[in-house]
Structure 1
Amino acid sequence: MPSRSIVIHTTRRQLELYEGNRLIRHYPIAVGKGATPTPPGHYTIATKTVFPGGVFGSRWMGLSIPHYGIHGTNNPTSIGQAVSKGCIRMHNHDVEHLFQRVEVGTPVIIQR
């Protein structure tokens, strides 16, 4: 079975889910603002939490870089903008869809 991976394009504000080399879904996202940019690099999903509370919406997927993650939002109008403290913010229905399709250890590549 081909492995899944996530590619995040911060300038396009888009998250892509791949199965092997095949794009299977893409989602609009919000990324870090100028003072707190989303850090480019190669990471993995380190933790998964359902209903983490607060501003993180309905799901949290912590990355292997501390204090950063892919999460939902309680402010859906922010999606598509550079407004976060470096995390990748998604609509709650999108983050729930993604959450079901990835596991701890899934590679995450963040590009500009």
Structure 2
Amino acid sequence: MAYRINVQVGRRQLLLYQDNRLIKTYPIAVGKMLTPTPTGSYRIINKQANPGGPYGAMWMGLSRRGYGIHGTNDPSSIGKSVSHGCIRMYNQDVLELSRMVPIGTQVVISR
């Protein structure tokens, strides 16, 4: 089973595909105007549970240094453009996602 993640910055949504079929859509927070979420194609290169601080319950690092998909200690931020460029998710959502997608999963970020 091949997974792929598509992040739609403008819609503030993360779409999870399995074998090219959409299986789940999650609400997210994205980068603010001065620190936008970078567009492009990346891979998940690492995972860390309970990384501490503002990263919530899970960190999944992207192949673009310094960026990742992570939980949050501020759930009211989801749906907004407030991060330093990372993709924020509700903690329960990022935990669910991290259980499904392996390291190496493609992440395509578009406006």
Q: TM-score range by the shorter chain?
A: over 0.9
Partner of 1:34: 33
Q: Which consecutive residues of structure 1, in runs of 5 or more, have no partner in the other structure?
A: none
Q: Which consecutive residues of structure 2, in runs of 5 or more, have no partner in the other structure?
A: none
Partner of 1:73: 72
Distance (whole Å) between structure 2 residues aligned to residue 20 and residue 66 of structure 1: 27
Partner of 1:48: 47
SS in 2 for 1:42: strand
Give 1:20 deviation, angstroms. Answer: 1.6
Partner of 2:11: 12
The number of equivalent residue pairs is 111
Amino acid at match of 2:94: V
Deviation >2 Å, runs of 4+: none
Distance (whole Å) between structure 2 residues aligned to residue 86 and residue 20 of structure 1: 28
CA RMSD of aligned residues (A): 0.5
Give 1:21 deviation, angstroms. Answer: 1.2
Q: Percent identity?
A: 57
Give 1:7 deviation, angstroms. Answer: 0.2
Distance (whole Å) between structure 2 residues aligned to residue 21 and residue 55 of structure 1: 32
Distance (whole Å) between structure 1 residues aligned to residue 39 and residue 90 of structure 2: 21
Give 1:8 deviation, angstroms. Answer: 0.1
